[in-house]
Structure 1
Amino acid sequence: MANNKTEVRRILDKVKAEGRTSLTAPEGKLVCDAYGIPVPKEGVATSAADAAKLATGMGFPVVLKIVSPEILHKTEAGGVLVGVKSADEVQKGFDTIMANAKKYNAKANLLGVQVQQMLSGGQEVIVGAVTDPSFGKLVAFGLGGVLVEVLKDITFRLAPATREDALSMQDGIAAAAILKGVRGADPIDREALARIIENVSLLVSDFPEIAEMDLNPVFATKNGATAADVRIVVDFNPVPPRYRPSHDDIVRDMNRIMKPDAVAVIGASSEDGKIGNSVMKNLING
C-alpha cells in the first residue's frame, strides 16, 4: 500500500498554521494510518455521554486518554485510565481525566478524551525516531513501556531503514531472546514489527519537520504488532541536514584505503637498523 503523503502534509500544515510544536493523539493516529502503521480503534469524545457511546461501540475494556496539544506526557498529568470496563466507568473516567488535566495545566486547550480499544498480551516494545545533529534522522527500537526508561535497551539505525536493518535491530538489543519467546512464550511476528520500524523511518525521512516520534508501547504478538500510543513532535525550522555520502561513495573511498593498487613508503631505507628499513621489511614480510 502506497503511503499517503498528502494526508500527512495536510495535518502538518494545520499544526504549523496553529503555531503548535506537537500533534494530538488523534492526529498522530491519522499520520500512522497514512503510513501503514497499525493502531487500535479509537475516537475522540467531548462529553462523558459521547465517551460512553464510543466505548460501547468498540467493546470493553477501553483506555481513556486526554487530548490536548499542550499535554504531551499524559500519564504525568493524570490523563490516562486503562482497563475501563463499563459505560458508567467511562463517564466517571471522562470527568476525572478532564479535572486532572485542568489541574495539571490550567491554560491547556482540552480538546476532549480519546477512547481507545484496549490491547493486551504480547511483548511491549518501543519504535521511535529522533533527529541527531551529527547523523540526522535516526530510527530507534527497544523494549517498551516502563522498561525503556529503566533498562535503556535501545538500538538505532540511520533513516530510512531497510527491511534488513529493521530485522537486525530486533536482534541488536540485549533482550533479543525475549522477542524470540522464552519459557513457553510465543515469539513475536518479526516481519510485522519490521514493517512498523521501516515505515516510521520512511515517515521521518519524507517529512524532516518531524523532529521526534514515539510509538510506546507497541504490542508485538505472534500475529502482528500494533502501536497503542503515538507521540509526534515537530520543528518547522529544522537545522539543514549535514552532507551524508551515499553507500557507494563510502565503499569506493574505503576501498582506496583498504584495497590500494600501490603503496608508497616515505622514509624507507636500505640500511639495517634504521626505522625506515624495519618498517619496509615488516610490510614486505607481512
Structure 2
Amino acid sequence: MTKKSETKTLSEPESRALLRQYEIPCVSDSLVEGPDAAVAAAREFGYPVVLKLSGAGLAHKSERGLVRLGIGDEESVSRACTDLLSAARPEDHANGVLVSPMVEGSREFIAGCYRDSSFGACVMFGLGGVLTEALADISFRLAPLDHYDAMGMMSELAAARLLDETRGEPAVDRKMLAYILEQLGVLICEREEVVSVDINPIRIVDGKPLALDALVEVRP
C-alpha cells in the first residue's frame, strides 16, 4: 500500500473529470471563484443547489461544515459562497466553490477502486452514504472485472433488496451500475498514477445511478 505522505488527493472537480473520462455518470457542476458567479451557476442549474468548498486538500468537507445543501435563493447562494471561501485554510489549497444541482433520492451506494498490497488492483461496492462505516455491507473483486463479476458484487450485499423496486421507487438499473464497476476496474488498471478512487455516494435517481461525490488519490 502506498503511504499517505507519498500521495495527494485531487480536488472534487478534478476527480469528477477523471470519472467522466471513463463514462461514469456524475452530477453536473460548476467551479466558481466568487458569489456573483455562484449565483449565475445556481440560476443556470435551477434551485435548490448545493455549494461546497473545493480544494485538493479537502478530503472530508462535511466534517468541517464546508457543504451547504438545499440552497433555494440567490441571496442564500451569495452568502454561502462568501462563507465557504472565508472558511478556507492554507492547507486546503482551495480553488473555488463548487455549485451543483440538489439531487433527490433515498438510496445511496458506495463504489471505488484501490491498490491492495497483497492482491493488487481491486474494486469495491457497497451500501453508501452515512451508513457505509456503520453497516460495512461491502463486496470486493480483483480488477479488471467483467459484467458477471460486477453483477455478483451487487447480489452479495446483505441489503441487495434495495436494488429492487421499493417504496414506490423503480428498480435500480443494474446494467448501468455494473458498467460503473467495470469502468472503475479499467481505470485502476490503466492509470498507474491512481492509488484509489472513492465514490460516495452514488445516489439512485429515477432508477439510474449518479455519482455525487468523488475522491481520487494519486501519486504526485
The structure 1 residue matched to 2:44, chosen from 36, 57, 62, is 57
The structure 2 residue matched to 1:163, chosen from 147, 155, 168, is 147
Separation (CA, whole Å) in 1 of partners of 2:63 and 2:85:
14
Report deviation, 1:101. Answer: 2.8
Report deviation, 1:183. Answer: 4.7
Percent identical residues? 34
Residue type of the alignment partner of 1:97: L
Separation (CA, whole Å) in 2 of partners of 1:132 and 1:46:
37
Q: CA offsets per residue over residues 204-254 of structure 1, 9 Å max, x none?
A: 110122111111100124542110011000125xxxxxxxxxxxxxxxxxx
Unaligned regions of 5+ residues in structure 2, if any? 1-5
The structure 2 residue matched to 1:93, chosen from 80, 95, 112, is 80
Partner residue, 2:69? 82
Report deviation, 1:184. Answer: 4.4
- Alignment of 1:22 with 2:12, yes or no, is no
The structure 1 residue matched to 2:113, chosen from 121, 129, 132, is 129
Partner residue, 1:260? none
Separation (CA, whole Å) in 1 of partners of 2:183 and 2:106:
21
Structure (1 or 2) with the larger CA radius of gyration: 1
**Secondary structure of the residue that 1:201 maps to in structure 2?**
helix
User: Across the two proteins, how many residue pairs are aligned to each other?
Assistant: 215
Larger RCO: 1 or 2 (CA < 8 Å, sep 6+): 2
**Secondary structure of the residue that 1:146 maps to in structure 2?**
helix
- Alignment of 1:67 with 2:54, yes or no, is yes
| Alpha-carbon distance change, 107 to 168 in structure 1, aligned in 2, over 3 angstroms | closer
Residue type of the alignment partner of 2:111: V
Partner residue, 2:32? 45
Partner residue, 2:179? 195
Equivalent runs, 1:237-252 vs 2, <5 Å: none
Contact 2:170 2:207 in 1 (8 A): no
- Alignment of 1:143 with 2:127, yes or no, is yes
Unaligned regions of 5+ residues in structure 1, if any? 1-18, 237-286
The RMSD of aligned alpha carbons is 1.6
Instruction: With the length of structure 1 as denominator, give the TM-score of the two structures.
Output: 0.71
Equivalent runs, 1:7-18 vs 2, <5 Å: none
Q: CA offsets per residue over residues 35-56 of structure 1, 9 Å max, x none?
A: 1001111111100111111110
Partner residue, 2:208? 224
Residue type of the alignment partner of 1:134: S
**Secondary structure of the residue that 2:81 maps to in structure 1?**
helix
Residue type of the alignment partner of 1:118: M
**Secondary structure of the residue that 1:41 maps to in structure 2?**
coil
**Secondary structure of the residue that 2:78 maps to in structure 1?**
helix
Contact 1:20 1:69 in 2 (8 A): no
Partner residue, 1:277? none
**Secondary structure of the residue that 1:138 maps to in structure 2?**
strand
Residue type of the alignment partner of 1:233: E
